[in-house]
Structure 1
Amino acid sequence: MKIGILSKRNKMFAAKIKQFLESEGHVVELYTLENLNINQSLLNNDFYIMKSKHMFFLYAGYFLDTHNIPVIPNVNLSYKHKNRIESHYLIKQAGLLGPSTYMGMVDVLKTKLKKTDYPFIQKPLMGSGSRGVRFITSSDDLKSTDGGPIYLEKFIQGIHYLSYFIDNKVCVYEKLPLVNEHARVKAIEMTQDLIDITLRWKNFYSMLFGHLDIVRDENTNKLHVVDPGSFPEFSNWNCSVEPEKEVCRLILNEYSKQLRIK
């Protein structure tokens, strides 16, 4: 088959899945910002892998969708992972706990929020992971980079976890707050509630793989999902299956399934 990969990078996990798919006899082209041109030439591939949620690649995904070229993972779900508001409601719709959220102009929030409401986490409205994330301890910290409204999440004090899943295999690690997937993690003995919340998310949205940032509230012991990811790098994966092989197997199976439905 001819497969396209939409990715910000031509290395790391994108390179690994490209190498594996090529070893299986597929013709694979990796599209980055340096060579992606959204036009009819993209229709020459059988299907695409949506590795990056960068808006340009999402636009390419929507273009492919309109021309009935399969994109895996699903473009709409990938977009909702990137949009903080959409992402928050994905958590709610799955019946999971998430942080309280606030959004408004800086001057309005400074007036409405009480000192006892702090601390918050300020996140870019469009984004994922830790890029552009700020810890807000008082109204003096509230800033807008573009003069528009800002998005805040109530900071939950507790133990922070990185939970990966590939199919029904779950791997959970303890991590520091507000760091990205690549930061050092601590191996732990997984508890059943961490596994259950991860699989509930996976099954509710029929996801093949992904990850969740989860916090166990130190006051209530309840688990809150604070940031979902649709296509991690699996930088800290250290479980029984090889992530690139298993991810590729799931993607190929999903493509075959979509062909049968058509």
Structure 2
Amino acid sequence: MTGSSAVQHDEVARWTPWHRDAAPNGRSGPVRVYCLPHAGGSASAYLPWARSGEQPGLTIVPVELAGRGTRLAEQPSAVMDEVVDGLLALLASRPADEPFILFGHSMGARIAYETTRRLAAEARPLPLSLVVSGGRAPGTPDVTRLHGLTDDELLERIVGLGGTPAEVLEFADLMQMILPVLRADVTLLGEYNDRVRPTVLPCPVLALGGADDLMAGPEWITGWRSTTAAGFRHRILPGDHFFLHQQRAEVLAELAAQARACLDTADGPQEGRAPGA
């Protein structure tokens, strides 16, 4: 492995620490699903998905953002463009014709949207589909203004909305570990939503939501329809903000169905336009 290849490999490993290719320089058969976490979350949330083998047509790739999980020693980013730049570099390391899906939950939904938008703007290979979960579309009102709250107010508000398990309030060490990441994440979301001027994506969008989600209920999930000029589909499943883990089998089945539908209309992702467009 050359020096530049080693650097690239190390960088990819930082972003996808739980995923290893059998043939890193070759095209894998299954559709890759890059999974982006909720505010304060880490790649480990998707490990049960990656290890389940429930949908052999998918390769689940948990994505680790700075400041959490295996990247705990790094400073978390509070700037959307910094996060997206890293994701674009990660995607550029893959074969251009390899089919993939971008999946994001809550905060991850907006990161996945902005990454897809940048790919389209730069005429780079697009995902077969953007799949968003438990999040409001960019430019729509946030459930509340979070990035101006004190630490105690922030934690109480997030827990009250069902965005973080209430148990974290009982563990001071865990709270101190989560707070810097959580504050960076809500700052990223607030500042991004203040400045974004949403554009229409040229690839399909699947939006998933929980029937009892207090942060992004069913009425907000359908709002993603306006983000695509290609196909749109949505589904509401039982559960709260973290319905995606409560209904893992159903969510993975929806991802697999979306992948099959997109592959049926295209040989693979097209640069700057939707599959089959």
Does TM, scored on the shorter chain, surpass 0.5? Answer: no
The structure, 1 or 2, with the larger RCO (C-alpha pairs under 8 Å, 6+ apart) is 2
**How would you bin the TM-score normalised by the shorter chain?**
0.3 to 0.5
Return the index of the structure with the highest Cα Rg.
Answer: 1
TM-score, normalization: structure 2?
0.37
**Greater per-residue helix proportion:** 2
Greater strand percent: which structure?
1
